[in-house]
Amino acid sequence: MSGREVIVLSVGGVRFVTRASTLQQFPESRLARMVNNDDREFKLVNGEFFVDRDGALFSYIMDFLRTLQVSLPTDFSDYQRLQREAEFYGLYPLADLLSQEHLLKPRLEILEVRFSLQEMQTFFRIFGSCSTTVEALAGQITVFIGQQSGQGWNSPSQKPLVPLPLERPSHHDMVFLCGTEYSAGDQFVARYVSIKPDNRKLINGTNVLGLLFDTLLKDGFRLISTRTVSSEEKVECYTFERMKRAAGLAIMVNQTPGSSGVAQARRSQVQKGK
């Protein structure tokens, strides 16, 4: 069997096809010994290895062997069972990472949007529990400023507009505004807001708020509450939340000539997608 390149396993009735080299990532594991025909508990039936274990959990073990990363779904909860499966297969570096359940669980992320409409201007302030998310959102939002005449202030094409940096009081929030304010004569200072990937430049605060909502909802957030912070100043607060996938834990396999081939785990944070 050690010369076979493709291995077929039937784990709890679920069929897996993989390379022998994938199962041999950790040479002292039972899967590696199985490939080398050194573990007789795994029976070869009609060219397939039969394993009387949980097939659904084994899919996560296969993903780990292929990527050397632990990345689980946001709704995953069987950490202890998966750890026992890893121990059964002799994948102790994986079992060690799974024992650190708090590092693998997804975390709840909160984002708060404050919206204040005052005469011809609208003020926005966005707070977030995750600075990385706020940083990414700040990269999507651009404020453009320019002087417009009283007859054409609603159109951003009348004069060239200049991008204006957002105010960033901290890593966890940002401040910007849109609308117009009186300058001199019939001139107005106009501020337009654009939110990528939408290319429009919007001056109406309600329209900007709607586009911001659409952007957050498409990014996995959901609106959980709306409240009035200050009725006198007309400040509305909208709270969003989403479950943020935990960072993957990666394992580096270090093998030196003459060693027993036991893989040593070195933990590192690997940022995954949303």
154 and 67 together in one domain: no
Torsion angle of C-alpha atoms 133, 139, 142, 143, degrees rounded to 10? 60
Q: How would you write the pLDDT of the chain (274 residues) with one tens digit per residue?
A: 445 789 999 999 999 999 999 999 999 999 999 998 888 788 888 889 999 999 999 999 999 999 888 888 877 889 899 999 999 999 999 998 888 877 777 788 999 999 998 888 999 999 999 898 999 999 999 999 987 665 554 555 556 789 989 999 999 999 999 998 876 666 788 999 999 999 999 999 999 999 999 999 999 999 999 999 877 778 999 999 998 766 556 665 554 333 333 334 433 333 333 3
212 and 126 together in one domain: yes
180/145 Cα distance (integer angstroms): 10
68 and 139 together in one domain: no
Stated as kind and residue range, the H or E segment containing 132 is: helix 131-140
Give the chain's domain count: 2
143 and 236 together in one domain: yes
Q: What is the DSSP string of 7-19?
A: EEEEETTEEEEEE
Q: Is residue 170 included in any domain, yes or no? A: yes
Distances (CA, A) of 136 to 38, 76, 105, 171, 274: 51, 27, 22, 11, 12
**Residue 184: per-residue pLDDT:** 61
Q: Which residue has the tokens 């708020």?
A: 209
20 and 95 together in one domain: yes
27 and 121 together in one domain: no
**Residue 54: per-residue pLDDT:** 95
CATH number of the domain residue 100 falls in: 3.30.710.10
pTM of the model as a whole: 0.59
Written as six digits, the tokens of 250 are 């990666």
Q: Is residue 1 included in any domain, yes or no? A: no
**Residue 252: per-residue pLDDT:** 59
- Residue that finishes a domain, picked among 57, 74, 105: 105
136 and 171 together in one domain: yes
93 and 140 together in one domain: no
Query: Side chain identity at 121, as an amino acid letter?
Result: Q
- Residue that finishes a domain, picked among 85, 105, 125: 105
pLDDT by residue (tens digit) across 195-226? 999 999 999 999 999 999 999 999 999 999 99
122 and 238 together in one domain: yes
**Residue 253: per-residue pLDDT:** 54
222 and 125 together in one domain: yes
**What's phi and psi for 57, nearest 5 deg?**
-70, -30
Range of the domain at 120: 110-242
Torsion angle of C-alpha atoms 7, 11, 16, 21, degrees rounded to 10? -40
pLDDT by residue (tens digit) across 74-118? 778 898 999 999 999 999 999 988 888 777 777 889 999 999 988
Q: Is residue 205 within 8 Å of residue 178, measured between CB atoms?
A: yes
**Residue 225: per-residue pLDDT:** 96
